[in-house]
Amino acid sequence: MSKLTETDLTILRLLQTNARERLETIAVETGLSVATVQRRIKSLKADGAIMGEEAVVSPKAVGITMTFLVMVELERERIDQIDAFRRKVRAEPQVQQCYYITGEADFALIVLARDMEDYEKFTQRLFFQDSNVKRFRSSVVMDRTKVSMNVPIL
CATH number of domain containing 39: 1.10.10.10
Residues 30 and 93 in one domain: no
Percent of the chain with pLDDT over 70: 99
- The pTM of this model reads 0.84
Boundaries of domain holding 85: 60-140
CA distance 56 to 90: 19
**CATH number of the structural domain spanning residue 74:** 3.30.70.920
Mean pLDDT of the chain: 95
What pLDDT, in 10s, does the model give residues 126-143? 999 999 999 999 999 999
CA distance 38 to 135: 49
Within 10 angstroms of residue 119's Cβ, the number of other Cβ atoms is 20
Residues 72 and 20 in one domain: no
Residues 82 and 113 in one domain: yes
Residues 37 and 71 in one domain: no
**Residue 81: pLDDT above 70?**
yes
Total domains present in the chain: 2
Q: Which range in 52-61, 79-88, 145-154 is most confidently predicted, on average pLDDT?
A: 79-88
CA distance 11 to 34: 12
Yes or no: say if 57 and 131 are a contact pair by the CB < 8 Å rule: no
CA distance 108 to 73: 9
What pLDDT, in 10s, does the model give residues 113-128? 999 999 999 999 999 9
